[in-house]
Amino acid sequence: MKIRSNDYFKLKILLLVFLTLALFFASFIIGRYTITMKTVIDIILAQFFDIPQYWDTTLNTVILQVRLPRIMLAIMIGGALSVAGASYQTLFKNPMVSPDILGVSAGAGFGAALAMINNSTWWEIQVVAFIFGIIAVTAAYLIAHMFGDSTITVLILAGIVVSSLFQALISIVKTLADTENELPSITFWLMGSLGKGTMNDVYMMLPTLIISLGMIYFFRNQINTLAVGEDEAITMGVNVPLVKMVVVVSSTLMTVAAVSICGIIGWVGLIVPHIARMITGANYSKIVVTSFLIGGAFLLIIDDIIRGVEGVELPLGVLTALVGTPVFVFLLSRVKKGWT
């Protein structure tokens, strides 16, 4: 009997949860300070229980204020981008769609660049990036509504238009930036990094992530029917305008929250949903869960590689592309039968 990708869903999810948890703990021992697994677990447990401290106090800072937020952000951001990608792919009935299809990354990138040439603080940069990300998607949505009955193709075209506009604006800001400090920091931001992540970022992102994921999970069966097309979904009794709105709003919020913390990270939102489909089948109701876990684990592994390489901080967005492209080619060879 052939084992199909749809079988043993609960078992697979359980295994993925264990994998992610194992990666979570293992990731603490990577970095310049050498720490044993036991110390890591004791430091974390010491937050909740009374454990006598036998380690150097600096390790508390390293584990709890440097590595913990970075690891948590990697999982949250990887998961968020992947769920957003899976949702857009289902909504647009297109396997080549990624979370920034409606211009969210370009918008946020422009916001961040604008803030950087105005000597803003890290916190202000995040807020401005967040706001411009939302503005970009809203603009794409409004343009799509102005022309035609906001069909899917028009929406994608509007996204491309808005993306190009903000890319052009980013280039203008870059030429205006001073080449000593501002231009390098803009360029670096656009390549993505988790290096500046703090616990504050975790606390900022968590509510957005929980609300967005909650909405998407609640409507997962309705979103699933969009895979056969909006018209057919309507005849099955689905409130398509509402469900479409849920997908766009939740995906945008998750993506913009991620991008404003870590800069632009490509490929994760595009390939992880395909890996998820390979493991638990095409059904959206299932891959919404699978994508989050795989996306979290995927980005965590990549960030671990970055932290493991001594001497230089490789840009995260570059490494995801470096790892993502061969994975994508592998996927193409595996699932070509499923795609048309």
Chain contacts with another protein (rule: CB under 8 A)? 4, 6, 89-90, 93-95, 217-219, 221-222, 224-225, 227-228, 231-232, 234-239, 277, 281-283, 285, 335, 337-340
Q: Which residues contact residue 182 at a Cβ distance below 8 angstroms, ignoring those fewer than 6 apart?
A: 116, 117
Angle at 232 between CA 228 and CA 233, to 5 degrees: 80
Question: Which CB, 184 or 229, lies closer to another protein?
Answer: 229
Nearest-angstrom CA–CA distance, 159 and 165: 10
Question: Which CB, 180 or 231, lies closer to another protein?
Answer: 231
Report the nearest approach of another protein to the CB of residue 21 (Å). Answer: 24
Report the nearest approach of another protein to the CB of residue 10 (Å). Answer: 12
Question: Which CB, 166 or 219, lies closer to another protein?
Answer: 219
Nearest-angstrom CA–CA distance, 129 and 126: 5
Question: Which CB, 203 or 218, lies closer to another protein?
Answer: 218
**Token pair belonging to 197:** 């992540």
Question: Which CB, 219 or 267, lies closer to another protein?
Answer: 219
Report the nearest approach of another protein to the CB of residue 206 (Å). Answer: 21
Report the nearest approach of another protein to the CB of residue 200 (Å). Answer: 31
Question: Which CB, 225 or 252, lies closer to another protein?
Answer: 225
- 94 within 8 A of 228, measured Cβ to Cβ: no
**Token pair belonging to 338:** 């499923």
Say which residue the tokens 């996204």 belong to.
159
Measure CA 80 to chain center. Answer: 4
Which segments of the chain does DSSP mark as H helices, in order?
9-26, 37-46, 57-61, 68-91, 104-116, 122-146, 152-176, 182-191, 199-218, 220-225, 230-235, 240-262, 268-280, 284-308, 316-335
Report the nearest approach of another protein to the CB of residue 95 (Å). Answer: 6
Question: Which CB, 25 or 339, lies closer to another protein?
Answer: 339
Question: Which CB, 52 or 237, lies closer to another protein?
Answer: 237
Report the nearest approach of another protein to the CB of residue 92 (Å). Answer: 8
Provide the greatest CA pair distance for the chain: 68
Report the nearest approach of another protein to the CB of residue 336 (Å). Answer: 10
DSSP secondary structure code for residue 4 in this structure: P
Say which residue the tokens 């411009």 belong to.
132
**Token pair belonging to 100:** 């920034």
Report the nearest approach of another protein to the CB of residue 276 (Å). Answer: 11
